[in-house]
A = this chain, B = another copy of it.
Amino acid sequence: MWNNGAMTAEATTTRTPATPRAEARERTMRRIVELGNAQLAECGPGALSVREIARGLGMVSSAVYRYVSCRDELLTLLIVDAYGDLADAVDEALAEAGQGPRDRFLALATAMTRWAIAHPERWTLLYGTPVRGYDAPAESTNVGGTRVIARLLAIAADAQGGTGKAGAAGVRPAVRVTPAVEALLERHLAEFAVDSDVDSSLRAVTVWSGLVGIISAHVFGQLGADAVAVGEQILEIQGELLADLLIGS
C-alpha cells in the first residue's frame, strides 16, 4: 500500500504537463527544501526560519507562503525528505550486504550510524524532540519513516527462519506477551507484509529503539564530550551487542 502510493505519486509528478509555471514552482519547491536543509545544517532545527528561506530565495517573506502554508509544513517537508534520504542510504547498504541476517543487521546499523553522523541535525529532526510541540502529521511522514523498520523486521524474520526452530528456541527464550500487544504486532506485520513471529518482531522493535537510542546518544553527545572521539568504535561494539539481542550470539 505505502509503496504503491509512493510510486503513483512519483509517476504523477513525472508525467506532469510540465507547463513552465508548474515547472518553475517545482524548482522553487526543491530550492526551498535545499535551503531548509542548509539552514538546518548550520543552526539546527528550531532556528529554521521562513524569513531566512525567503532571503535565500531572494523574495520577501510573505511570498514564501505561496509555497509553504506555515512553518510546520516546512518542517514536515524536511522530515519527509530526511526520512527518504535515510531509508535510501539503508537500502543501498543492504543491496551491497551479504545474505546472513547478522551481516544484514550490521549493514543496516552501520548505514544508519553513518547517515546520522553525516547529518546530525537531520537525525535530530527525525529522532529528537518534535520541535515546538509540533507533531508531524502521520499520513505524510510515516511513508518514509517506516521503510527502515520494515527492513529490520524482515531481517529478524529471516534470522528466525534461518537458524531453525530448535536453535532459535534454545538461544532466545519466548517472551510472554499480552493479547493486546500480540494483536498490535500482527496488525503491523501484515501492514509491512512481513512474515514473522511475535518473538522476532518484539526483538526487532526493541533493537530498533535501542539502535535509535544508541545513535542519538552519540549524536547528541550524551555520553560525554570525550566519548565522541571514539564514538564510531563504541557504536560498532554496541551494534554487535544489539545483533546478539536480535539474532542470538
Interface of A with B (CB < 8 Å)? Answer: 43-47, 124, 127-133, 135, 138, 142, 173, 175-178, 180-181, 184, 187-188, 202-203, 205-206, 208-214, 216-217, 220-227, 229-230, 233-234, 237-238, 240-242, 244-245, 249
Q: Would you call B175 and A241 a contact (CB within 8 A)?
A: yes
Q: Would you call B133 and A44 a contact (CB within 8 A)?
A: yes
Q: Would you call A241 and B245 a contact (CB within 8 A)?
A: yes
B residues less than 8 Å from A43 (CB atoms): 133
B residues less than 8 Å from A203 (CB atoms): 241
Q: How many copies does the complex hold?
A: 2
Asked, given contacts A209-B210, A210-B209, whether A237 binds B175 with beta carbons under 8 Å apart, the answer is yes
How close is A41's CB to chain B, nearest CB, in angstroms? 11
How close is A4's CB to chain B, nearest CB, in angstroms? 19
B residues less than 8 Å from A135 (CB atoms): 221
How close is A103's CB to chain B, nearest CB, in angstroms? 17
Q: Would you call A206 and B175 a contact (CB within 8 A)?
A: no
The 4 closest A-B pairs by CB, nearest first: A213-B213, A128-B129, A210-B210, A44-B133
Q: How far is the CA of A187 from the CA of B229 in the complex (A)?
A: 14
Q: Would you call B216 and A210 a contact (CB within 8 A)?
A: no
**Contact residues of A: prevailing secondary structure:** helix
Q: Would you call B133 and A233 a contact (CB within 8 A)?
A: no
Q: Would you call A129 and B133 a contact (CB within 8 A)?
A: no
* A128, A203, A210, A233 pick with most chain B CB within 10 angstroms: A210
How close is A187's CB to chain B, nearest CB, in angstroms? 8
Provide a sorted-by-A list of 14 A–B residue pairs whose CB atoms are within 8 angstroms. A44-B129, A127-B216, A128-B128, A129-B129, A177-B233, A178-B230, A180-B229, A184-B226, A184-B227, A188-B224, A209-B222, A210-B242, A212-B217, A216-B216
How close is A234's CB to chain B, nearest CB, in angstroms? 6
B residues less than 8 Å from A181 (CB atoms): 230, 233-234, 237
B residues less than 8 Å from A229 (CB atoms): 180
